[in-house]
Structure 1
């Protein structure tokens, strides 16, 4: 048998297996129970418009705060890690390795509950939700710092040498030459980090939230308990996809663009 014939036969077998698996799922699944527990239109209707005007809006707000805060802190840490001054490098490295190694949920729990016990005067803006957001900023900054550092190091050394030969100071060279190119290089991974932060806002439930502060996951969890029905979870999942899928497609386009540019 020719190799091309074997490949076609193998693909045909895979298609058959896939179709059999789909047919078995269709036959075995209890669609009435699934529709009742996950696709109840009456329960879905009760979630509007609050699930969008409060929960989805809060996801966007929390993501913006965490990303901008993480970007500012991450840029500072990246520059510290590249600093010729050793203590700055040590501090930045210790911070990055620590918070990249800790679960975000644990950090949020610590900022929301452990820090207030240790420091009784701890009173973050926004209360427990604000404490959770500070934790998200702290965690995201560690990942963003490494992304920015990699982008800075990816800028060709000749660019820096050319700027220095024109008499530019090191600080101005970094601001006007290196960072613009570095951010162009790291746009896809930074967009990925933004998607991760969107999903990590779901961890803020551990900090405790007022009704008006709830994000999608907390809102859906409360609605599931209220209605004894899982439809709100499906709605929250769909809204997360509405928010994140355009960003993931943007990442794919940016990566293809970067590959063509190279």
Structure 2
């Protein structure tokens, strides 16, 4: 068997792929989406708290947010998952009596996501023009109401592409949860493919798992580009001059170039 034939047989054995597809769709896909969506929601809530702490007027919450972000962005994802999943596992078992590592995996992904999403929110909030705050305060809004109703919504809108990118990263990072030894019914896409590859002695199931990841992430990548393009076009339209002359030569004030109204 030459090298090319061996490559095809090892990675693109269609029979081995077909055998694992049902488990990928019925077990791996739902669990991957549950892990990514749940940790994305929790991470977004924690991230918003970190963002508000990061722009606080007081030094203590700013430093807490900074230290948290530096730690969880600096450590490898696998290390965080092992520290939380295995390190906190005995404590959780003593408190709840549960040996299920699935919630700990979600917790670990959420803490990692919060560090990145918090920085995304903070940059978005700080990108809003200071005049927005001044105008809202001049209208009688309190600082908290201004942040909640004016500044934060604008900041979130500006960072939507980055948030979708972070969700794509969560879909891929969910594959690391297999370190915690999930039950057969809790396996995500990678673990399903990895188990099938180990049982068959062929790596084609892992390629099938990779294709499923591409099916999930490529449309989201194009969605990011679409959102970014829409936001940029909206900003250009908002920045366009409103006082342009009409075809008849009338200025915005209704006065013709010759000085006649």
Fold equivalence (TM over 0.5): yes
Counterpart residue number, 2:210: 237
Aligned residue pair count: 234
Q: CA deviation at 1:41?
A: 2.2
Alignment of 1:51-90 (within 5 A): 51-90=24-63
Q: Write the distance in 1 (CA, Å) between the matches of 2:100 and 2:143.
A: 41
- Alignment match, 1:219: 192
Alpha-carbon deviations, 1:209-260, whole Å to 9, x = none?
1000000111111000111111101100000000000111111222223333
1:119 Cα deviation after fit: 6.9
Q: TM-score, length-normalised on structure 1?
A: 0.84
Does 2:116 correspond to 1:143? yes
Partner of 1:179: 152
Which of 232, 240, 261 matches 1:259? 232
TM-score normalised to the size of structure 2?
0.84
- Tell me, yes or no, if the aligned pair for 1:124 and 1:130 is still in contact at 8 Å: no
Using the TM superposition, give the Cα deviation of residue 89 of structure 1 relative to its aligned residue in structure 2, in angstroms. Answer: 1.5
RMSD after superposition:
1.8
- The C-alpha deviation readout for 1:187-228, integer Å capped at 9, x for no partner, is 011111111111100110111110000001111110001111
Task: Looking at secondary structure, tell me which structure has more helix per residue.
Answer: 1
* 1:19 alignment partner in structure 2: none
- Asked if the contact 1:224/1:233 (under 8 Å) is kept, the reply is yes
Per-residue CA shift, 1:23-78, capped at 9, x if unaligned? xxxxxx84322232222222222113221011011111110011001000000111
Write the distance in 2 (CA, Å) between the matches of 1:150 and 1:191: 15
Report the Cα distance in structure 2 between the residues aligned to 1:125 and 1:66, rounded to whole angstroms. 20
Query: Tell me, which stretches of 5 or more residues in structure 2 are unaligned?
Result: 237-261
Distance apart, 1:126 and its partner CA: 7.7
Runs (4 or more) in structure 1 with deviation over 6 Å come to none
- The 8 Å contact of residues 89 and 104 in structure 2, kept in 1 or not, is answered as no
The Cα of 1:155 is off from its aligned counterpart by 0.6
**CA–CA separation in structure 2 for the residues paired with 1:124 and 1:142:** 30
